[in-house]
Structure 1
Amino acid sequence: MEYYQFRLQKLLDIRADKEEESKRNFKEAQSERLKVEEKLNNLKENYTKYREMSGEESVIERKIKHVYLNAINYNIAETSKELKIKERVLEEKREDLKLKQIDRKTVESLKEKQKAEFIKEQELIEQKMNDEFALYAFIRQQNSL
């Protein structure tokens, strides 16, 4: 019995490699977005932590706190912009990954269909051979009687 060899195996391998690369890119973009999101949350926590002014602080301490809060506010705004950019990049990577998976699965399903046809064909050939052997055996048995 012959073994099945898919003619487009190299194409399938290439598409699988591209899908793996796309997965790595997606995970990297996801990681970057998480880092920025963490940074934003830390900035927001610092802002809420230091925004309360108590009556015990001196004017200089209040001024320093005010400048610090303005800096945090600015950083929150910048980090929010950066987060939106990272989310957009992440969505692009997600779409790219979906397309790569579809490309690979298309060729893979073609391979499975062709393999099923090949197996069916091989089984038919084997069945014909078995039928011929049975017929020859029957004829020999009839001739020997």
Structure 2
Amino acid sequence: MQQYHFRLQKLLDIRLQKEDESKRIFKEAQSEKLKVEKKLNELKDNYIKYRTISNKESVIEQKIRHVYLNAINYSINEAHEELAKKQKVLEEKRDELKQKQIERKTVETLKEKQKATFLKEQNFIEQKANDEFALYGFIRNLKNLKGGEMNGD
């Protein structure tokens, strides 16, 4: 029986490599987005922690706290913008990954169909050879049987 050889194997290998690279890039983008989300949550926690101003503080302490809260608020707004950009990049990378997977699956499906056709043809050839051997064996046995009857008469 012959071994199946897929003529487009190099193309499939290239598409697998591109898909793996796209997966790596997607994971990096996802990691960056998570870092920005973590930073944003820390800023929000700091804002909540320091937003209450007590009357026991001096005017200077209240002024420092107010300036600090403004700086945190500004950082929160920047982090929101950065997060929106990271989410957009992440969606682009997700779409690229999906496209790479579709391209790979297309070639894999072609390979599977061609392999199934090849195996079907090989099984047909093998069945045909078996049928011929069985027919030759039957004819040989029939000749031997007839030859034995003629000699026995």
Match of 2:129 in 1: 129
User: Is 1:120 matched up with 2:120?
Assistant: yes
1:55-101 Cα shifts (integer Å, max 9, x gaps): 10000000100010010011001111000000000000000000000
Aligned 1:46-85 pairs, distance under 5 A: 46-85=46-85
Query: Which is higher, the Rg of structure 1 or of structure 2?
Result: 2
Q: Distance in 1 between matches of 2:38 and 2:142?
A: 87
Letter aligned with residue 98 of structure 1: K
Residue 142 of structure 1 and its aligned partner are, at CA, apart by 1.2
Partner of 1:30 in structure 2? 30
Poorly superposed stretches of 4+, deviation over 2 Å: none
| Residue 144 of structure 1, CA deviation | 1.3
Q: SS where residue 116 of structure 1 aligns?
A: helix
Q: Deviations over 1:78-134 (max 9, x none)?
A: 111000000000000000000000000000000000000000000000000000000
1:43 and 2:39 are equivalent in the alignment = no
Structure 1 unmatched ranges of 5 or more: none
User: Which residues of 2 match residues 85-104 of structure 1 at below 5 A?
Assistant: 85-104=85-104
Give the number of aligned pairs: 145
| C-alpha distance in 2 between matches for 1:143 and 1:68 | 108
% identity of equivalent residues: 71
